[in-house]
Structure 1
Amino acid sequence: MIDVLVAGGGPAGLATAVHAALAGMEAVIVEPRACPVDKACGEGIMPGGVTALEAMGVQIEGRAFRGIHYLDGRKDVRATFSTTPGLGVRRTQLHAALARRAAELGVKTITGKITHVEQNRDAVQAAGLRARWLVAADGLHSPLRRSLGLDLPARGPRRYGQRRHYRIEPWTDFVEVHWSSAGEAYVTPVAEDLIGIAILSSARRGYDEHLRAFPALNRRLRGPAVTPVRGAGPLRQAVRTRRAQRVLLVGDAAGYMDALTGEGLSLAVRSAELLVRCLAEDRPEDYDGAWLRLSRTHRLLTGALVQATRRPGTARLVVPAARRLPGLFTGIVRILA
């Protein structure tokens, strides 16, 4: 019998399978798409996530960044990380690197999709396979989470993300966050000649219309975009619990607040390690509480910033407030890092 069956072969699913293999478990991934898969993503990995990937033996190339830079067209403020830098990396390169590491450790990947599960006190059955545990890593709008009745109504603004890339040498070694009353634009250096720009907003508009809300950023862009627009949303996903008997949720499927603080990839990798540790130590009942503790700071700070974006008046105060209290801003960035 398989030890850990993983529904979804994105970064969260692959990280789970890698950690399972490192713990001496047999892991099998079921994924319908060919690797690597591109998707809307800010593509910035915070220092904690970089360290977690290195500990897994994942070799990845990207563009280092040393902090976060907030701008609103009139004022700006920077915060540097205290130790190791973050890493800007194309989503496809990250996916491919994780897949290589999983293959090195003997993880099998089966082409297919898991939408239905049968389970009893000893095992779970899905896609014609039998396993001790099933990990749902099937994304933001997880079909497995929904089928298990673990969704909750999401409160607050419905926000959406869009991203594309420009062939231009990065002008900074920070991730820039441009604020406006209409949303936020994230500029992440992902290679020596490539930047990604992700826009988050509750307004349903096209990418170019959103970009016009950031004139200073727009003036820096030369030439056309080199990748198509990719979108995702609504971002906020509320979850009743991250475990239903022998099924556990990880990554975006485990619940999602917002992309505003850029921690999604780091949390996915770190929570995958946490999940596998709970299974290896035969205490799956501890996973939900451990996930809540791991993500508590992220959820509190991200939730506060999302609330600030709900009204143009408060959104305009974010950068001036951070500039007025640079020590606090730096402290928050370093905690999130």
Structure 2
Amino acid sequence: MTPLLASALMPLMRGLDAELAHRLALKGLAMGLAGRDSRPDAPNLATRALGLDFSNPIGLAAGFDKDATAILPLMRLGFGFVEAGTVTPRPQEGNPRPRLFRLTEDKAVINRMGFNNAGLHEYLLRLKHLERPLPAVLGANVGVNKEGADPERDYPGLCASVAPYSDYVTINVSSPNTPGLRDLQGEERLAAILAAVAPPTVGKPVLVKLAPDLAEEALEPIIEVCVAAGVAGLIISNTTVARPGSLRSPLKDQIGGLSGAPLFEPSTEMLSRAWRITAGRLVLIGAGGVSSGAQAYRKIRAGASLVQLYTGFAYGGPALVGKIKRELSRLLKRDGFAYVADAVGTDA
């Protein structure tokens, strides 16, 4: 099967319960049923960020493959990087079902999964047994358990455990579905966690993933904390608890984090603000609502060195990756940019 054919089957998957469809998709990917995109990336898509070389700047966000069960098949679809997780120290079931909802009319998803995952031990076993060298960059996204968590203890342990088997590590303090987690974004608490992690000692670039719901005045102090601690970059942004008035789906009032098309504008605005504040001191990864090459390009021009997909990929399927890359390459050429890096921040 090819990515194009796999994408053609997506409407059938949307007839299933959202979480069941996700599980089946991961199993199909792990079995290689989505095929691969064997076309080489256009030279102008190559970029270097976080001290790493990417064949293209399009990545898969954390949350899709929480337990690292389909890393290689996902990379073979043409992603420049794949971020696995969020993984917690101990296995946990997550929140009661139903907890994943398609807002089809809005090209959006609401989830309140609650860091459901098989735990660090299983996650590490899978990373250790990956066939290397990997065809793309691998990120590991880490978080804390709902019960019994000690962030100043858990995050350093998680980072130290996953760093030998990944190319970068993301500290998730911004999921809305673990009680109290977003409080860890506060300036003082985040500073304490990062002091415990000591990013420069981890051995791999450490990133922090932020929520789009931060108060405007909170962003600059958080960025300064990250810079002072030696963090390499930020992911902007996670899902939102806001509910825009434009939402049409009858599921719009479900509790959880909203992702997809409605998140594109607010997350891109936050990205622009972060670019202006960081002034080149941190690498920014843009996430939120990307489902086309034009939208990826807007993230890049707003300040993102790299871009992540999630909900757009869930709706568009495997063929979307190649489509976005081809469109992005054309836009870079149209505007006279030889490489992705030349376009970063040009609108910010």
Bin for the TM-score computed over the shorter chain: under 0.3
Which is richer in helix?
2
More strand by share: 1
TM-score normalised according to structure 1 size: 0.26
Query: RCO higher in 1 or 2 (8 Å CA, sep ≥ 6)?
Result: 1
Q: State the TM-score, normalized to the length of structure 2.
A: 0.25
